[in-house]
Chains A and B, each alone.
Chain A
Amino acid sequence: GAVVSQHPSWVICKSGTSVKIECRSLDFQATTMFWYRQFPKQSLMLMATSNEGSKATYEQGVEKDKFLINHASLTLSTLTVTSAHPEDSSFYICSAEKIGRAIHEQYFGPGTRLTVT
C-alpha cells in the first residue's frame, strides 16, 4: 500500500509560538506533496503544493511567510505555522503524490489538529 503519516496528530500551542508539522510518505517516494487546511464542518482548502528541492507554490490568499513549507527529501515535507494565532486553529492535512503516477494517485495523511490558545 501507500502510507502517509503526519506528526504530531494533535498539538496545542500558545499564541505567538511556532509549530512544525511533518508529513512523511512511509513506503514510497513523493516529488510532490500538498498541504490542506480544514476548518470545522468545512471542506479541505488547498494551501500549497510542495515540490522536493524547490520552493512551494502557495494558493491565493495563503501567506507564505506565515506558513513555511520545506520539502527536504522525497519522503518528507514540513509545514511550519509561524507566530500562530487562535485563528490558525484548524485541521491540517497533507497528501503525497506517488512518483510516476497520475495526479489522482494521492495518498492522504491522517491530519494534524492544531489548537492555538
Chain B
Amino acid sequence: AQKITQTQPGMFVQEKEAVTLDCTYDTSDPSYGLFWYKQPSSGEMIFLIYQGSYDQQNATEGRYSLNFQKARKSANLVISASQLGDSAMYFCAMEGASKIIFGSGTRLSIRP
C-alpha cells in the first residue's frame, strides 16, 4: 500500500525566510511520482512541483525546490524567500496505481 505522511500540521515563518515542509512516503512500486500542491483559502489546488522517482536531479520551479532523498523516502518542499502570499495549506502527494494520494497537509503561515 502507498502512504504519504506530513508530520507538520502547522508552521509559522518570518517573511523572506526559507522554509522546509516535510514529506515522507512509502511505496513498493519502483516507479512513482511525487508532487506538491498549494491550497489557498479559496480552495483551488495549485500545482507547484513534480519529481519522478527516476529523476536524477532535484526538481526546481522558481522559488520552489523539492529535496528528494530516495533512500530516506522523503520529498521535502523548500520555499526560498517566503512571501506573505505563500500562506496556505500545502499538500504532498504521490501518484501510483493510476491515482494520486495526498498527505494530511501543512498549514503555512507567513509573518510580516
Contacts and interface: CB of A to CB of B under 8 A. Distances in A.
Interface of A: 34, 42-46, 49, 91, 93, 95, 102-104, 106-108, 110-111, 113
B103 to A, nearest CB: 6
A104 B95 contact: yes
B15 to A, nearest CB: 24
B68 interface: no
A46 to B, nearest CB: 6
A110 B42 contact: yes
- Does more than half of chain A's interface fall in helix, strand or loop, or is it mixed? strand
Interface residues on B, range: 20 to 34
28 contacts: A42-B105, A43-B91, A43-B102, A43-B103, A43-B104, A43-B105, A44-B45, A44-B91, A44-B102, A45-B102, A46-B100, A46-B101, A49-B99, A93-B45, A102-B33, A103-B33, A103-B98, A103-B99, A104-B35, A106-B100, A107-B47, A108-B37, A108-B44, A108-B45, A108-B47, A110-B42, A111-B43, A111-B44
Q: Nearest 9 A-B pairs (CB), nearest first? A: A108-B45, A111-B43, A43-B102, A44-B102, A104-B33, A110-B44, A103-B95, A43-B104, A104-B50
Interface of B: 33, 35, 37, 42-45, 47, 50, 52, 91, 95, 98-105
B44 A49 contact: no
Best-surrounded residue of B35, B42, B95, B102 (most CB of chain A within 10 A): B102
Contacts of A113: 43
Given A42-B104, A49-B99, 14 more contacts: A43-B91, A44-B45, A44-B91, A44-B102, A46-B101, A91-B43, A95-B45, A102-B33, A104-B52, A104-B95, A106-B100, A108-B44, A110-B43, A111-B45
A95 B35 CA distance: 15
Contacts of B102: 43-45
Contacts of A91: 43
Contacts of B44: 108, 110-111
A103 B97 CA distance: 10
Contacts of A44: 45, 91, 102
